[in-house]
Amino acid sequence: MRNLEAVTGDITTQTTDAIVNAANATLLGGGGVDGAIHAAAGPRLLEACRRVRRTTWPDGLPVGEAVATEAFDLPARWVIHTVGPNAHRGQTDPAMLASCFTRCLDFAAELGATSIAFPAVSAGVYGWDADDVARIAVDAVRRHPSEGVQLVRFVLFGDRLRVAFDRALAN
């Protein structure tokens, strides 16, 4: 049985095995969670992401996909990068958002991670409603069959997101 929890906090300070970066397709940093993770991880994270772009994903990471790098200066061991769907661009399929969470769990299991911290992927500048993100994320994590990942922590920036995830976890 997997333990799911929601906390208000800073994902860059989490001591879980893996943290999830709500990245953009370039993987080269950005604003919000993405910028905070890149800043806290140090310049080696950017170089690792550039290697991913040169090798595995030369055209950028697709929406709903994930890729892992080392975490460098962060307390976690790995950063798993995923690109959420952007509602402002018409990307409103819940399956695309659910895929962000399940693909990250796939990578966490492959890496041997027993704990992972997620932000509210797509709930920021990508325009998704907080309640929808929370419901889709919690449902995707609960339904995912991967063994090994025992703790899933949703690390949320602000009370609005925390309340939405608390509601989703209570159902």
d(CA 79, CA 156): 17
Helix (H) or strand (E) holding 97: helix 94-111
Spell out the residues 6+ positions from residue 141 whose beta carbon is closer than 8 angstroms to its own. Answer: 2, 4, 101, 102, 105, 118, 152
Count of beta carbons in the 10 Å neighbourhood of residue 96: 18
Write out the catalytic residue numbers: 34
Whether residue 38 contacts residue 74, with contact meaning beta carbons closer than 8 Å, is answered with: no
Angle at 48 between CA 94 and CA 123, to 5 degrees: 25
